[in-house]
């Protein structure tokens, strides 16, 4: 597992911490990174405070293969991500002229000092350009700085994804059954022990008044996943419950 790339996400967002906005970037990046085999292994949501951002970025960039950040790259006073990333790396901000030209084209006479700030990137970084905005995200070393608006964050991720190191894709299959988790718990422990290569998770749900559980089997070894899923199905059948099996191949 040591050669599997790992990713972390730092969500820079007072609006998430205040509850005003429900984050959508965690789930998108989690799915997308799993598909390319660079699984998301940690998320932090932190406020728009310089010290917090610098500390979080420096702690994460030495620990994970990739660090993504979302939020704080717009034109207003509370958009401080680029300044903080520059401080984390000990480099100045430099105005990125090709982005200035794109913004001149897009904004015309509405291009002002505040908007030009979006073309200031930490020295040594590469812009992350998309079709959807003229202002770029950027990459510096292993840190990828994305917008907070989900549609823009997704376009920025899509534009860098081909350049990321891909590990074995994380494959995930699951079985749902209408029973309590506790009914199956002891058997699931046995199955997890019999298939140590997979990660077997159990998640209760409540739908239309009925209790159920999803047993999720994931990992990179498809034979082991199929073997474990087969055992879970047998265990569910042995309890004589209605069940449904769905197979989701994320690759």
Return residues touching a second copy (CB under 8 A).
Answer: 11, 14-24, 26-32, 34, 39-48, 52, 74-79, 107, 110, 112-115, 148-149, 151, 170, 172, 180-186, 188-189, 192, 199-206, 216, 218
Considering the complex, what minimum distance in angstroms separates the CB of residue 58 from a second copy? 16
3-class SS at 16? helix
Answer whether 81's CB lies under 8 Å from 93's CB. no
Which of 16, 121 has the CB closer to a second copy?
Answer: 16
Measure CA 246 to chain center.
24
Select from 56, 34, 32 the least CA-distant residue to 45. 56
Considering the complex, what minimum distance in angstroms separates the CB of residue 76 from a second copy? 4
With residue 171 as reference, give the H or E element that holds it: strand 171-177
Considering the complex, what minimum distance in angstroms separates the CB of residue 181 from a second copy? 5
Which of 35, 126 has the CB closer to a second copy?
Answer: 35
Considering the complex, what minimum distance in angstroms separates the CB of residue 3 from a second copy? 19
Which of 146, 200 has the CB closer to a second copy?
Answer: 200
Considering the complex, what minimum distance in angstroms separates the CB of residue 124 from a second copy? 26
Answer whether 198's CB lies under 8 Å from 15's CB. no
Which of 88, 217 has the CB closer to a second copy?
Answer: 217
Which of 107, 124 has the CB closer to a second copy?
Answer: 107
Residues 217 and 235: their CA atoms lie apart, in Å, by 14
Considering the complex, what minimum distance in angstroms separates the CB of residue 192 from a second copy? 5
Which of 52, 104 has the CB closer to a second copy?
Answer: 52
Give the dihedral sign, CA 119/156/34/215: positive
Considering the complex, what minimum distance in angstroms separates the CB of residue 62 from a second copy? 16
CA atoms within 13 A on the CB side of 240: 0
CA atoms within 13 A on the CB side of 135: 22
Burial class (CB in 10 A: 0-12, 13-18, 19+), 51: exposed
Residues 6+ apart with CB under 8 A from 109: none
Which of 63, 123 has the CB closer to a second copy?
Answer: 63
């Amino acid at each position: 597992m040591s050669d599997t790339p790992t990713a972390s996400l730092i969500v820079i967002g007072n609006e998430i911490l205040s509850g005003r906005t429900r984050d959508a970037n965690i789930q998108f990046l989690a799915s997308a990174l799993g598909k390319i085999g660079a699984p998301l292994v940690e998320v932090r949501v932190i406020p728009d405070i310089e010290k917090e951002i610098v500390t979080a970025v420096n702690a994460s960039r030495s620990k994970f293969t990739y660090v993504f950040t979302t939020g704080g790259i717009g034109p207003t006073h509370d958009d401080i991500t680029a300044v903080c990333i520059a401080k984390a790396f000990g480099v100045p901000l430099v105005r990125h002229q090709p982005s200035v030209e794109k913004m001149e084209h897009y904004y015309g006479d509405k291009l002002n000092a505040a908007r030009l700030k979006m073309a200031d990137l930490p020295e040594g970084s590469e812009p992350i350009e998309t079709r959807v905005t003229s202002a770029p995200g950027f990459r510096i070393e292993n840190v990828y700085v994305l917008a907070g608006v989900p549609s823009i964050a997704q376009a920025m991720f899509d534009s860098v994804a081909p350049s990321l190191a891909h590990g074995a894709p994380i494959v995930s299959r699951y079985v749902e059954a209408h029973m309590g988790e506790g009914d199956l718990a002891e058997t699931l422990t046995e199955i997890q022990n019999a298939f140590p290569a997979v990660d077997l998770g159990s998640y209760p749900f409540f739908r239309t008044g009925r209790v159920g559980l999803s047993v999720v089997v994931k990992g990179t070894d498809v034979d082991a996943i199929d073997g474990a899923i087969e055992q879970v199905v047998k265990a569910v059948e042995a309890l004589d419950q209605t069940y449904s099996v769905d197979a989701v191949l994320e690759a």
